Amino acid sequence: MKRILTFTLALTFTLTAEASEKFAGIHLDSSIPSFQAKIIKEDLTYLHNNSIKDIDSQFKSMIEVPKIDGAHLYNWVYNRVKFIIGEDYQLRGRNLVSQKGHRFPSTPIPPSVLNRTNQYAGTIIMSNVGAELYLLGKLDNILKGIKLDNKSVFAPSPRVGILQVGEGHFLERLLINKNLNSEANKIKRLGTIIHEARHSDGHSEHIGFIHNKCPEGHSLGGFAACEASSNGPYSLEAVAMKTFLLNCRTCSVEDKTKIQTAIADAFGRVIVRSHVKTEAQLRQEMASYLPVIDFYIGYIAANPKLGATYVKELERLKSKVKECEEQLKELKAPIKPQRLDPRPEGPFEEVSVEKSSNLMKASLAR
């Protein structure tokens, strides 16, 4: 494990771009290894120049653009992503800046932030640092930001658009096929970009379309890697990949299957229920608790001096059965994921499609 890490660091060190650059208006920081920056640029170009013919109907209703074509989709991303930093960028020490006296809107904070759950501790693929900085700033009531090329970039809105990209975004085992530049891999990575861009949206309790805890029984149960809305990052990622797949010219049957699996995985994280158990599982669980409860009741009655430990255990078992009953009720009255208002809070500038397209064209002409 350590060797892999050392190797990766050495590789990143030698391949890190010498200077930051702007591509299609987006600041690509010098902390991004140059091979990664090259791929990001090619992916964004693919998005912008995509002549989308077939559109998934859900994508159309979920993404707030007047027209679905490459230029409008790039514009949607550009309005939510303005800076990309590399995995080696240290989000601490002198790189962090703050400014007193900023007035944050007096909207509520997502409850999950006040009571943070476990983050999924896997390989870093990508994260929306801007939304996080905004949220942390709002919590501490101080404007927060980071230093990029000796300039302070503050986050007065989740729309500041700072993403951090990790090596997972480029790892073969997390992609579709061996060819990093293939159309299928571009589709997978663009799904991730669109997912992260969505985290720049939302307000109040759903600021940054912050993830919810995955329910009990889910493969990611307990981790903040699910969503209860119908238009959050995972939903959007899924329908965006669906649309790109419909228009893929070079995807093989195997590529298509793998992208469809990735779509299913993203949809699998859209879940309102508090559990993913079946009725049979719940009934079985209850059936195994009930005799134990009966035993404890009899045992405690026969031995009144047993003490609090036994009574406590009995109460715990009873509450488990109650939980199962609640979960059964939930199964019988399924709730549908709700659409959330994507409008972000705080000040931000909405860039026109003409302007973002011109930025792209100017970069491609260089």
Residues that bind Zn ion (CB under 5 A): 233
- Contact call for residues 38 and 26 (beta carbons, < 8 A): no
Residue 189 Cβ, how far from Zn ion at the closest point, in Å?
14
> Least separation, in Å, of the C-beta of 195 and Zn ion?
6
Considering beta carbons, is residue 264 or 287 the nearer one to Zn ion? 264
CB of 80 to Zn ion, least distance (A): 13
Q: In whole angstroms, what is the distance from residue 366 CA to residue 362 CA?
A: 6
Q: Which of 188, 84, 103 is nearest to 146 (CA)?
A: 84
Residues 6 or more apart in contact with residue 43 via CB below 8 angstroms: 186, 189, 190, 193
State which residue, 186 or 269, has the beta carbon closest to Zn ion. Answer: 269
Shortest Å distance, C-beta 163 to Zn ion: 11
Rank residues 158 and 233 by Cβ distance to Zn ion and give the closer one: 233
Give the shortest CB-172-to-Zn ion separation in angstroms. 22
In terms of C-beta density within 10 A (0-12 exposed, 13-18 middle, 19 or more buried), how is residue 155 classed? buried
Q: Which two three-digit tokens encode residue 228?
A: 């209860």
Residue closer to Zn ion, measured from CB, 70 or 233: 233
Q: How far is the CB of 87 from Zn ion (least distance, A)?
A: 16
Residue nearest to Zn ion (CB): 233
Cα–Cα distance between 276 and 120 in angstroms, integer? 19
- Name the residue nearer to Zn ion (CB basis): 79 or 363: 79
* Ordered DSSP codes for 11-57: HHHHHB-SS-EEETTEEE-TTSBHHHHHHHHHHHHHHHT-------H
Burial 185-206 (b: 16+ CB within 10 A, else e): bbbbbbbbbbbbbbbbbbbeeb
Q: Give whichever of 207 and 248 is closer to Zn ion, judged by the CB atom.
A: 207
> What is d(CA 76, CA 64) in angstroms, rounded to the nearest whole number?
8
